[in-house]
Amino acid sequence: MFCYQCQETAKGTGCTVRGVCGKEPYLADQMDKLIYAIRGLCVLHTHIKKSGKDCDCNTHLIFDGLFATITNANFCMVSTGEKLKAVVKEKKRLLQFCKDNGINIPNCDEVYCVDFDHEDRKFSVMFEPDEEIRGLKQLLTYGAKGTAAYIEHAANLGFTDEELNDELIAAIALTCCHNEDVGVLMRAIQTMGEIAFKAMELLDKANTKTYGQPEITKVDLGVGKNPGILVSGHDLKDLEELLEQTQGTGVDVYTHSEMLPAHYYPFFKKYPNFKGNYGNAWWKQRIEFETFNGPILFTSNCIVPPLENASYKGRIFTTNSTAYPNTLHIADRVDGKPKDFSPIINKARECEPPIPIEKGQITGGFAHNQVIALADKIVEAVKSGAIRKFVVMAGCDGRMPERDYYTEFAKGLPKDTVILTAGCAKYRYIKLNLGEINGIPRVLDAGQCNDCYSLVKIALALKDAFNVKDVNELPIIYNIAWYEQKAVAVLLALLSLGIQNLHIGPSIPTFMTPDMRYVLKRKFNIGTITTVKNDLETMLA
């Protein structure tokens, strides 16, 4: 196996024996095959469209396959095998369609390969001999994976944009072996950033049109007396249906990790059994799921494989593109009917209530609409000197000890700075009680990682309020933590908007070659983190 798609990749070079995330080598190889097959399908879809013919390709297979190969989403060989089979079947169908209709398609192996029942180096990331081309294609692929996940969440709420889907599919088609052109790949990466931004915008529209605009909300960290279900991941539609189905059952529902921001939406406040948030970022689940006592539903990444003797092993459920071996998977909606969450509810009834691990509340809900409503107050605070700088500290959390940097950095920030956050990175500082400035909390949480869209909207609103020509002239610094491929999508989106002086950490992605880093440094002044002391001095200068 070879995988270097996430920040925790082994030795900072690549996982080759087993994933640090727990991905087994045979699953990694199967996922490589799935991506290989998806590339071919993307070429076929793109060329059929280009020919002017209608293409009835089942594009869900593409988005679902990309989503399932995101770090910590799917650990199941059976589910991955089924996805591969379905993509290959669709590829065969479209190949025949092209043949029947005289549509010319590039002569590349990804398109014609329909036999995956063997081991072949050609499926591996490392098969591409040129380091530069490999890095560019992988960056494009990882950006596409994160974007596909956002597109899926929006689609689950009934919001799709066919043009956007086609743009994403066309960009993936460029990662096939027939394209070895650095210039084309560089431009495709810029386009991928634009696509990622549009996908976040679409998801924001889906979430806010369905559930209302997020508002300032205090979220409880304690527990109630009833058995509970813990909902993890990013998918709000699953949460809605689960809440509906738990009414009157005596079972409470709690959020975990990236699901916390669901509390900020007005819609969910009507459910009396929608309790608080339990636990922290994804990587603490081996400890926190033990004491939760009830079932846990994963609606997306991040799953940490439970230890052999974990008490919660039989309490894990997956849905959407997530899957785990020997774990019940809640099937997709059929004909628009809600999913059937009764197995989880029945399981919860057999369980003890959660054991409290924290108490008190945290405050969030500072998405674009809410912050823009506070704009006068914020502009006033900046003009009076009460707020010196905004510090965007969004992205992912991770288990590596060097991430303590982010807690220390937040603690070390002067009292006249405000942190803008989104994503599970927030758990490093949202509970620190950093105080307020003129009634404005010093940590403003916009929501999930996709709500980095809100942070961009806020920056654009501030640009207007301060009447500056360029967002880079604003008193905003960016210190972003990445872990998996959704963060790659967010990063590409920020770059496509021309945002400069980003600091990404705790390390620069391994798949970025020295040449790519040089270009990013020259064009966007991207840097990485050093020490808290040094970074506080240089970033605030």
Q: Shortest approach of ligand SF4 to residue 19 CB, angstroms?
A: 3
Q: What is the distance of C-alpha 347 from the center of its chain?
A: 28
- Six token digits for residue 412: 């070390």
Instruction: Rule CB under 6 A: say whether 152 interacts with ligand SF3.
Output: no
Nearer to ligand SF3, 123 or 278 (CB): 278
509 binds ligand SF4 (CB under 6 A): no
Q: Which of 389, 393, 390 is nearest to 506 (CA)?
A: 393
Angstrom distance (rounded) from CA 253 to CA 236:
13
Rounded Cα–Cα distance for residues 285 and 256 (Å)? 9
Structure tokens, 449: 């990682």
Stretch that binds ligand SF4, among 15-23, 260-268, 425-433, 461-469 (CB under 6 A): 15-23
Residue number with CB closer to ligand SF3 (201 or 258): 258
- CA gap 283, 101 in Å, rounded: 51
Q: Binding ligand SF4 by CB under 6 A: which of 21, 113, 168, 492?
A: 21
Piece of 19-27, 58-66, 397-405, 408-416 that binds ligand SF4 (CB under 6 A):
19-27
Please report how close the Cβ of residue 301 comes to ligand SF3 at its closest, in angstroms: 5
Q: Which residue has the tokens 């500290």?
A: 393
Give the C-alpha separation, 344 to 96, whole Å.
43
Q: Segment contacting ligand SF3 (CB under 6 A): 88-96, 376-384, 481-489, 495-503?
A: 481-489
* Partner in contact with 147, chosen from ligand SF3, ligand SF4, none, beta carbon below 5 to 8 Å by kind: none
Near ligand SF3 by CB under 6 A, which window of 123-131, 192-200, 484-492, 512-520? 484-492
478 binds ligand SF4 (CB under 6 A): no
The runs of H, that is alpha helices, within 450-531 are: 452-465, 485-496, 514-524
Site string for ligand SF3, 419-438 (x = CB under 6 A): ----xx--------------
Angle (deg, nearest 10), helices 514-524 and 131-156: 60
Rounded to the nearest angstrom, the gap between the alpha carbon of residue 345 and the centroid of all alpha carbons in its chain is: 27
Residue 15 contact partner, candidates ligand SF4, ligand SF3, none, CB within 5 to 8 A by sort of partner: ligand SF4
Which DSSP string corresponds to 385-412?
Answer: TS--EEEE--B---S-GGGHHHHHHHHH
Minimum distance of ligand SF4 from residue 485's CB (angstroms)? 9
Residue 251 contacts residue 224 (beta carbons within 8 Å): no
Contact, 242 vs 375, CB < 8 A? no
> Which of ligand SF4, ligand SF3, none lies near 347, with the C-beta cut-off 5 to 8 A by kind?
none
65 sits near ligand SF4 (criterion: CB under 6 A) = no
Return the residue matching tokens 């500056």: 468
Among 11, 13, 42, 71, binds ligand SF4 (CB under 6 A): 71
| Contact positions vs ligand SF4 (CB under 6 A) | 3-6, 8-9, 15, 19-21, 23, 28, 71
| Contact positions vs ligand SF3 (CB under 6 A) | 72, 234, 257-258, 282, 301-302, 396, 423-424, 448-449, 483-484, 486-487
